[in-house]
Structure 1
């Protein structure tokens, strides 16, 4: 076993680590490109829905437009996060790369989405208390058009899982957040159409603002889900009990004991692990790294080996291990 002080053993791994600390998702370029395209589509739809809602006095249509406004803002943040992560991928100030910029964007978008839900709920309640006349015939076509646009955008931002490992449960959260926003908006659009139809066919003036209230509740639920997922990654919570158990099992395959193990996310499809292995007859750090080589999504590994004489041996791994 070679001491960590041996420069011949430490130079190569450290250089390799520097080369591999971007930790961007496998579909980063594709996701960035499609996010910009969807941003443009949603911006045009936003203008049409808000103007239509004001002209025809439809709360459901206005709610759909306000929700779309939140999507445009979210998509701008998501697109900017992709660009920022790519631009600073080799910046040495980021010790573990820029893979988490997308999680930060997702958290910010979730907060904005929650605020939007509150605004929609307040306005819908006001309309329930003091209903306004709605031009159902004019509002319905815009609501249907909004739904069609949402469905197209949801399809464009559909996440791919080609590069995701079996332990990587959330993939690219930045893209997932944008996709979730638009999926929610599609549901809100359906509610808007239902409210308008109920008002036009049955004369239920309360149906339109009620649809806005239900939509607000759904938006709030989506926002809460995003906050939880983004916070877990930003606070380095253990991303997978299954992956942790797999790593521990492999390191203890020959009677060793893992006395410390930390696992966290570095970016979409990338995890880091730090392990301390104790054994009466310890192997080399390379031997333990070899046991983890086939673990999908494990991109950076640090192994410390402790023998009976309490000797410490450190090894810093790179990329795929």
Structure 2
């Protein structure tokens, strides 16, 4: 036996009234992302010009990677804006909370491409070393590291609820880009320092290559996390188990259970409950009340045969 027409209509009316599944810090994270994007534009220009003037592959690599950051931050900020703008649009059956994950996946792809570009150019420089103006490149690399660390701090996750393991992956993607760039900047300083002290011309290019490997690793991690959300992989075995326990507390049998993420801090569940004497869908929904992060529930009941 399925839920009655009035029950189903009540569920749909409630859903239409509450389809906004944006993160708790959505507006604040959007503002922070735009601010950091502006800082990164200025840093990008300085690194590229400095790399060309001082003939430093590490600085050029930093500049190329910062260019990827600017694109990533604009995509992330744009996703925040679009998700907020269309949050109440009925065309989005489950809201716009996933726009941030789509942006995060796209940014992971950009991160992977930038890693490949840096690796290719660094490999070329290893095979054909060129002199580097260390005195000019080192201070610029140090300044870039300081700016990167400031941007990493500005985009640090502020609130993260215990029930939302991954938090806001759109912000995490932007933060990971900047954290990766900070590490690449540190490697660039190490490579330039070794070249200055020991005249190891290849150290600068090797630092760029090491940075590329690290960025590729970051890209894979980010693609795995955002891809899992976009493919609706079960986000929480613990929450799934708790739903199953509550709905089977009076001898019912759970025939079907689907749990997926709607947005940062929001999950949806569709359940099919079988019982000898099925209760109303609202009673089963009441059993799930108070579960952290469970924002939308659809219940179907069936008569046991």
The TM-score normalised by the length of structure 2 is: 0.97
Tell me, yes or no, if the aligned pair for 1:167 and 1:242 is still in contact at 8 Å.
no
Distance 1:148 1:171 in 2: 26
Tell me, yes or no, if the aligned pair for 2:2 and 2:300 is still in contact at 8 Å.
no
Q: For structure 1, list consecutive stretches of 5 or more residues without a partner in the other structure.
A: 310-321
Distance 2:35 2:276 in 1: 59
Q: CA deviation at 1:308?
A: 2.8
Distance 1:241 1:3, change over 3 A: closer
Distance 1:156 1:90, change over 3 A: same
| Equivalent position of 1:316 in the other structure | none
Distance 1:137 1:3 in 2: 75
In the alignment, does 2:239 pair up with 1:259? no
Q: Deviations over 1:3-54 (max 9, x none)?
A: 5223xx4444322211211211110000000000000001100000011011
In the alignment, does 2:111 pair up with 1:113? yes
Q: Deviations over 1:271-320 (max 9, x none)?
A: 000011112233222221112111110000011111236xxxxxxxxxxx
User: Of 287, 305, 309, which aligns to 2:283?
Assistant: 287
| Equivalent position of 1:32 in the other structure | 30
**Most deviating of 261-270 and 280-289:** 280-289
Tell me, yes or no, if the aligned pair for 2:2 and 2:301 is still in contact at 8 Å.
no
Tell me, yes or no, if the aligned pair for 2:58 and 2:188 is still in contact at 8 Å.
yes
| Equivalent position of 1:51 in the other structure | 49
Q: RMSD of the TM alignment (CA)?
A: 1.4
User: Of 49, 64, 67, which aligns to 2:65?
Assistant: 67
User: Of 211, 218, 222, which aligns to 1:215?
Assistant: 211
Q: CA deviation at 1:109?
A: 0.9
**Most deviating of 14-23 and 89-98:** 14-23
- Give 3-state SS (helix, strand or coil) of 1:206's partner: helix
In the alignment, does 2:147 pair up with 1:156? no
| Equivalent position of 2:273 in the other structure | 277
Tell me, yes or no, if the aligned pair for 2:257 and 2:271 is still in contact at 8 Å.
yes
Tell me, yes or no, if the aligned pair for 2:3 and 2:301 is still in contact at 8 Å.
no
Q: Deviations over 1:98-134 (max 9, x none)?
A: 1111111111111111111011000001111111110
Tell me, yes or no, if the aligned pair for 2:2 and 2:302 is still in contact at 8 Å.
no
The TM-score normalised by the length of structure 1 is: 0.92
Q: For structure 2, list consecutive stretches of 5 or more residues without a partner in the other structure.
A: none
- Give 3-state SS (helix, strand or coil) of 2:5's partner: coil
> How many equivalent pairs are there?
305
| Equivalent position of 1:4 in the other structure | 4
User: Of 13, 16, 30, which aligns to 2:14?
Assistant: 16
Q: CA deviation at 1:160?
A: 2.4
